[in-house]
Amino acid sequence: MSKSFGKTIRLFLIEGTVNGLISAELSNWTGKAFKIPRIKVKEYALRDEFKNPGVYILFGKNEKNENAAYIGEGEPVIDRIKEHLVKKDFWNEVIIFVSKDKYLNKASIKYLENKMHSLGNTANRFYIFNNNIPTLSGVSEAEQAELEEFLANIKLLTSTLGHNIFENIQDTLETTKSTETSFLCKNNAGALAYGSPSTEGFTVFENSVFIKDGQPSLSESIRNEKAKMLIDGILIDNGDTLILTKPYTFNSSSRAASMILGRSATGPGEWSTLEGITLKKFESQL
């Protein structure tokens, strides 16, 4: 198993505020990231860095108010961003990645665009607005190795700048000695769900079974969330129960348990390992 090493990220608030242009760099990396609010793009369009080839991600919401993104490339990158000011309305900020030493060219940004698009679809965190799969350009074996390292830094900095578009849910889960820790939540009425604490709350796994109807103690906000999950196809009707079609992260173990059991529930006491250790006891032993 490869060892992970710490990294130093340098963030610079160019206007002295988080609502302006932010640059991000990694030690010993030739790339550089810029996070720009949509309303600031024209103000910074003449910066020299943006005249270089680069890749970018537009961030916003789709018609269902879900996180959404568009991934692209440009040579120069700023020209494409300016086009999107006119042609795409959904986004409110963009993250741009360029090279400080003129390393990126047309072939390399096409390669990165394709790989970023694939990573975004695989993670399935955001609705991806791209209608077509970007073309994968041919690069040498040596260039591919360098670009994969560049891509890894893009993933890291994108998360650092506030967007988990490339982060698989699996990477957020509770682990003990590199083994995923699963918990069970069930009742005699048919609920049977598996999940795990995550860095974002509590993730319930695909194919978990939820109680369809809720008791009076179930909060209105959970009822509304369940209704939206049904509309979006995240939950599907299975008679007296509902089936989860994909991993879903709740903001707490209690909210997850309440949704599953159809009543008010305290997560730390409802979730337990296969050996019967409650989540409350498990966490107290850490």
User: Helix (H, G, I), strand (E, B), or coil: what is residue 41?
Assistant: helix
Q: What is the pTM of this model?
A: 0.78
Residue 58, φ and ψ in degrees, nearest 5 = -90, 135
Please give the Cα distance from 93 to 68 (Å, whole number).
11
What is the per-residue pLDDT for 180? 59
pLDDT digits (tens, 9 = 90+) for 218-271: 999 999 999 999 998 999 999 989 999 999 999 999 999 999 999 999 999 999
Question: H helices then E strands: how many in the chain?
Answer: 8, 16
Interatomic CA distance for residues 42 and 82, integer angstroms: 8
Q: What are the C-alpha distances in Å from 171 to residues 151, 174, 196?
A: 17, 9, 11
Burial of 64 (0-12, 13-18, 19+ CB in 10 A): exposed
- The amino acid present at 128, given as its one-letter code, is I
Give the single-character DSSP code of 111.
H
50 vs 13: CA distance, rounded Å: 17
| Mean pLDDT of all residues belonging to the chain | 91
- The pLDDT tens digits of the residues spanning 115-166 come to 999 999 999 999 999 988 888 888 889 999 999 999 999 999 999 999 999 9
